[in-house]
Structure 1
Amino acid sequence: MQKKVLKVNPKDNVAVALVDLKEGETVILDNLTYEIIKDTKAKHKFVIEHLNIDDPIIMYGVLVGKANLPIQKGEVITTENVKHQSTKVKGKTETASWIAPDVAQWKDRTFMGYHREDGQVGTENIWLFFPLVFCENRNVEILKDIFEKELLFEKVTKHQLLLRSLVNNSSEFETITEEEKESRVFKNIEVKFITHQGGCGGIRQDAESLGRLLAGYVNNPNVAGATVLSLGCQNLQVQIFKDALEKMNPDHKKPIIVYEQQKSGTVDEMLSGIIKDSYEAIKRANEIERKPASISKLVLGLECGGSDGFSGISANPVLGQLSDLMAGIGGATILSEFPELCGVEQELVNRCVNEKDGERFLQLMKDFEKSVVAAGSGFDMNPSPGNIKDGLITDAMKSAGAAKKGGSSLINDVLDFTEYIKKPGLNLLCTPGNDVECTTALVGSGSNMVLFTTGLGTPTGNPVVPVVKISSNTALYEKMPDIIDFNTGDVIKGEKTIEEKADELLEFIIEVASGNIKTKAAVLQQNDFIPWRRGVSL
């Protein structure tokens, strides 16, 4: 029988409704009986003791808010009776210890990946086209249309086929035959395209930051090589991009084709040259085949979006357990979204192996929040209307649940936006909470797969890495099967433990990394790319 309520941490003074609760209904928690004062929807929280104004709200064992009004025992918390509050942190207060989980069943496991000369291993083999400045977006789009039509038959969608049937005045819905699919020119490589709105017009720092981000994409193990388009006069000069790549990886040997329009004559001449040179390079990259690699070569980006009140007790803890498994194996995970770590800084600082990393984490958080305040907002405004509707009342509450994605292992490094991963184990990466900006940043810092938890659903994907969507609840999994890859809702129902689901998820990840399972975002061709712009436009 499914439990109706849950207290996440023994220190908590709120409980989570696992099902809809009616006014006057009684529930039992830790052998104590509580009467529900008002209707409480599943995912929302009610207090388990009477609270006066300014009394603390504790969840996940940390301060997540304070009472704005008197709240009766058994009464649901809302944005009216609770406001954001988090603990202020100045530095490390203790040295955390960690015992790795048993990884005996995983230590010899492999996936089929693409080995690069620098020792990295990709889960995909991508030839990437991108511009250094938005002025070249049109040319990239032209190239995208040409290459996809000629090289990739499966890019023809059912909606294109529907339109084709209408244009041909045919009553039959055309389909792609298996013979056509098999006739695609290249079997071992995908061709992907990025466009963006940066590279010029903003502050020079944003152009340089974009250059480092794009260098990270080229350095990502999923990328075999790249075709780069430049106008010539923009802030993000070709040399800035090349210098960023050289600094990131002095030994990189990937082929990079660069065309600068202001040196290339007509558009026709430039496009003809790009097509010829890129085709030859893609043909060579197609010779790279999947080979066995230790799963310690996986670099998993950890992210959440469209979160709900169950995210922090099912999907995110499952990712946390998986992150701990990866740390025990010698693999790497990257925890991002700094606005969603507000309120749990003390725990994270204490988990930093190097004290300077803890100091850097706090400084990055401080600088980020300062810039947000200067813009007239604050981290306390982070929860979206959808988050609040589904039980995430304050930013600190949302953050405490979001941080569960990082498990309990020690933190080996703290990275700023566009810095590339250097160490195994758990890393922190400064990114916004915005779904696409965060995913974009994780890939630029070396993730060869992104694990994305959601309680409400989101179609976000990436052009370079598989993005695995993990639902916090079964209702979402059943409602949106076209975008959700993996369900953790059986944790809420008490049918599976967090440890059991983490093992299942790792098995699923190995299949995705080996190319045996295509993510739903990839099927939908969801190739999102939005760089984080920290500055202003000039």
Structure 2
Amino acid sequence: MKRTFLQINPTDNVLVALCDLKKGEEVVFKGKTIILQDDIAAKHKFTIDDLKQGEEVTMYGVLVGKAQMPIPAGGLIHTFNLKHASEPFQGKLKDYTWKAPDVSAWKNRTFMGYHRADGQVGTQNYWLVIPLVFCENRNVNIMKQAFLKALGYAQPDLYLDQVGSLLDAYQSGADIDSLKTFQFQQKKTDYRQNRVFKNVDGIKFLTHESGCGENREDSENLCNLLAGYCVNPNVAGITVLSLGCQHSQVSILQEAIHKISPNFEKPLYILEQQQDLGSGESQMLAEAIRQTFVGMIQINEIERQPAPLSKLRVGVKCGGSDGFSGISANPAIGHTADLLVALGANVMIAEFPELCGVEQELQNRAVTAEVADNFGYLMKEYARRAEAVGAGFDMNPSPGNIKDGLITDAIKSAGAAKKAGSSPVVDALGYGQYSKKAGLNLVCTPGNDVLATSGMAGAGATIQLFTTGLGTPTGNPICPMVKLSTNTKLAQKLPEIIDIDCGPIIEGEKSVEEMGEMVLEYIIGLASGEYQTKAMELGQDDFMFWRRGVSL
């Protein structure tokens, strides 16, 4: 019999509707008949017992809000009657014992990766072009146009024929409305067949709006983040374009790189536009193109070789979340995270505003009091900065989140934290720091999809798992992004952006553990270059830098 509702944790005093339920319907929970007082849309929650004004609401076993008015048993909880609330946190209060999952089936498995001189192993072999300041964005884009098509990395222009048809109709005087529907003819081909350099998975170009005109802290943080991209094992070589007079100086970037990797050996070409005014911009670009081409010849000699799964570096993220996120896709990749940690890999979870309410649990899972305290400091400092500009973590849920059942930040956070599985927390990293410890790492970023995924790539992630209940096309230039839908309806609605459907968990067809194991198998194939994610096929290369200070 299909389930119609779910209690996530035995201590919860609300139930989650798994399908649309109507006002007046009777549901039976643990022998108690509950008459629904409202229509309850799938993904939303209703109370088990009467709640008084000010009474606490718990989900996932934690405090997620307080009733703002009396709510009868069977009543819908929503923004009009529930306000965000979360438990305080005090550092590591008790020891944590973790029972690792059985990983014997994967102990001797390998993936085919790119081995770097510093011991890291990449899942991709990219050349990276980056500007140190926004003034160089135009030059980066000129290089991008020159390289992608010539070397076979350009995405197919699916809409060129449509514009051409509209133009022909307009010029011939035909009725434009007759061309409302355009049938795309897209052929599936091997994505590597047109490459000039068979062992180079791509040449990637970053642009941003920072590097100068802001406080020095932000400019230095930009250099730290870009240094992480340079050291990331998915990157084999780098071209840096600098204007010269900006805050984010070349020397700061070089220092940041060598702080992460003292014996950095990748080809790194730096061109500064103001250094030789006599040669002009065109000569600088010509030299940048020449050096980059020579560098790509060099990295094309690197081939994939077997590597243990302990060399994987996987980030976990959710975006466009819904009321099913915390009970399907998030716990599924949480199990994947536990499998990876048990295999000795590095796992990262970011978006600190979406850890609000579960801080104490994560602090108790920390391997040391120092790690717990550092996480607590980062959370409090983030909250302080938010409050200083009139914001707060309670403002985190988006309109889409709220519409699909995530009423408070604490509800959203409690479900989001499921991505981290249950393993011990080995480190808590500030924004722009590089992750160097095997195990579960907490990486400080905003909840914003691109800021968070950009931050984890800068911390060294070589694959990211991204769950979504509403659909988001987010990708990253250097880090393959795997999209997992929380429900089958979304996977069917937006097949061009979803890689894995976790809806069978909601339907009761697969367990969280079974889905988590499927995700691990997918990761192994992806890390070996056997296929691309949907975001990679779309060329969805999103990058954003988190500016925290004022512009000057």
SS at match of 2:298: helix
| Alpha-carbon distance in 1 for matches of 2:224, 2:67 | 44
Who is 1:210 aligned against? 222
1:83 matched residue in structure 2: 83
Equivalents in 1 of 2:422, 2:429: separation in Å? 18
Report the Cα offset of residue 29 of structure 1: 2.3
Give the secondary structure class of the aligned counterpart of 2:46: strand
In the TM superposition, what are the counterparts of 1:64-463 in structure 2 within 5 Å?
Answer: 64-152=64-152, 154-160=154-160, 162-163=162-163, 182-189=193-200, 190-264=202-276, 265-463=279-477
For 1:279-305, what per-residue CA distance to the aligned partner results, in whole angstroms no more than 9, with x for missing partners?
111111111111111111111111100
Q: In 1, Cα distance between the equivalents of 2:347 and 2:183?
A: 48
1:351, 1:411 within 8 Å by CA — same for their partners in 2? yes
Could you tell which deviates more after superposition, 21-30 or 454-463? 21-30
* CA distances 1:322-363 after superposition (whole Å, capped 9, x unpaired): 111111110111011100000011100000001011011111
Q: Tell me how far 1:272 sits from its aligned partner.
A: 1.1
Contact 2:473 2:540 in 1 (8 A): yes
Task: Tell me, in whole angstroms, the C-alpha distance in 2 between the residues paired with 1:153 and 1:379.
Answer: 41
Give the TM-score, by structure 1 length: 0.97
- Deviates further, 164-173 or 223-232: 164-173
Match status 1:496 vs 2:518: no
Larger displacement relative to structure 2 (186-195 or 160-169): 160-169
C-alpha distance in 2, partners of 1:255/1:47?
A: 60
The one-letter code sitting in structure 2 at the alignment partner of 1:119 is: G
**In structure 1, what residue type is equivalent to 2:243?**
L
- Taking a change above 3 Å as real, the CA distance of residues 45 and 290 of structure 1, as seen in their structure-2 partners, is same
2:337 touches 2:421 (CA, 8 Å); kept in 1?
A: yes
Alignment of 1:37-52 (within 5 A): 37-52=37-52
Distance of 1:299 and 1:397 partners within structure 2: 28
Distance 1:172 1:115 in 2: 43
Residue by residue over 1:110-147, the C-alpha shift from the partner in whole angstroms, topping out at 9 and shown as x without a partner, is 11111111111111110000100000000000000000
The alpha-carbon deviation at position 252 of structure 1 amounts to 1.2
- Deviation at residue 28 of structure 1 after TM alignment: 2.2
How far, CA to CA, are the matches of 1:513 and 1:179 in structure 2?
17
Deviations 1:181-226 (A, max 9, x none): 7343111111110000000000000000000100000100000010
Measured in 2, the distance between the counterparts of 1:168 and 1:255 equals 48
Contact 1:316–1:401, Cα closer than 8 Å, also in 2:
yes
The CA RMSD over aligned residues, in Å, is: 1.9
Question: What secondary structure, in the 3-state scheme, does the structure 2 residue paired with 1:155 have?
Answer: coil
CA separation in 1, counterparts of 2:192 and 2:429? Answer: 42
1:486 aligned to which of 491, 500, 509: 500
- How far apart, CA to CA, are the structure 2 residues paired with 1:166 and 1:225? 42
Counterpart code for 2:272:
E
Aligned pairs, number: 538
Counterpart code for 1:246 = H
Identity %: 54
Structure 1: gaps (5+ residues): none
Counterpart residue type for residue 260 of structure 1: E
Alpha-carbon distance in structure 2 between the residues aligned to 1:420 and 1:153: 29
Q: Distance in 2 between matches of 1:229 and 1:153?
A: 21
Q: Alignment partner of 2:274: what SS? A: helix
Mapped contact 1:162–1:174 kept (Cα < 8 A):
no
Residue 512 of structure 1, CA deviation: 1.2
CA contact (8 A) 2:155 2:538 kept: no
Would you say the 8 A contact 1:154–1:181 is kept in 2?
Answer: no
Q: Distance in 2 between matches of 1:459 and 1:198?
A: 24
| Cα contact 1:136–1:229 (8 A) shared by 2 | yes
Q: 1: distance between equivalents of 2:226 and 2:161?
A: 34
> Secondary structure of the equivalent of 1:208?
helix
Q: SS at the partner of 1:369?
A: helix
Could you tell me which residue of structure 1 aligns to residue 481 of structure 2? 467
Q: Report deviation, 1:431.
A: 0.6
SS at 1:427 equivalent: strand
Quote the Cα distance in structure 2 between the aligned partners of 1:270 and 1:407: 49
Return the alpha-carbon distance in structure 1 between the equivalents of residues 90 and 187 of structure 2: 61
CA offset digits 1:42-92 (Å, max 9, x no partner): 000001011001100010000000110000001010111110010111222
Residue 326 of structure 2 aligns with an amino acid whose one-letter code is G
How much does 1:161 deviate? 5.2
SS at match of 1:312: helix
CA distance in 1, matches of 2:161, 2:427: 49
The one-letter amino acid paired with 2:149 is K
Residue of structure 1 equivalent to 2:178: none
The answer to whether the 8 Å contact 1:6/1:29 transfers is no
Distance 1:153 1:414 in 2: 37
Aligned residue for 1:60?
60
Q: Give the secondary structure class of the aligned counterpart of 2:9.
A: coil
Q: Against the structure 1 CA distance between its residues 47 and 510, is the aligned structure 2 distance closer, same or farther, given a 3 Å change threshold?
A: same
Amino acid at match of 1:151: L
Q: Which amino acid aligns with 2:320?
A: G
Cα distance in structure 1, aligned partners of 2:463 and 2:483? 11
Instruction: Give the SS at the match of 1:281.
Output: helix
The one-letter code sitting in structure 2 at the alignment partner of 1:64 is V
Provide the C-alpha distance between the structure 2 equivalents of 1:69 and 1:332, rounded to a whole number of angstroms. Answer: 45
Letter in 1 for 2:66: K
Where does structure 2 lack aligned partners over 5 or more consecutive residues?
173-181
Correspondence list, 1:9-28, <5 A: 9-28=9-28
1:418-444 deviation line (CA, Å, top 9, x unaligned): 111111110101110000000000000
Do 1:34 and 1:48's aligned partners in 2 also have CA atoms closer than 8 Å? yes
Cα pair 1:161 1:175 within 8 Å, conserved: no
For residues 281 and 362 of structure 1, do their structure 2 counterparts lie closer, same or farther at Cα, with a shift above 3 Å needed?
same
Q: What TM-score does the superposition give when structure 2 sets the normalisation length?
A: 0.95
Query: For residues 303 and 167 of structure 2, what CA distance do their matches in structure 1 show?
Result: 40
Matches of 1:175 and 1:53 in 2, distance apart? 57
SS in 2 for 1:158: coil
Q: Displacement, 1:175?
A: 7.8
Give secondary structure in 1 for the equivalent of 2:454. Answer: helix
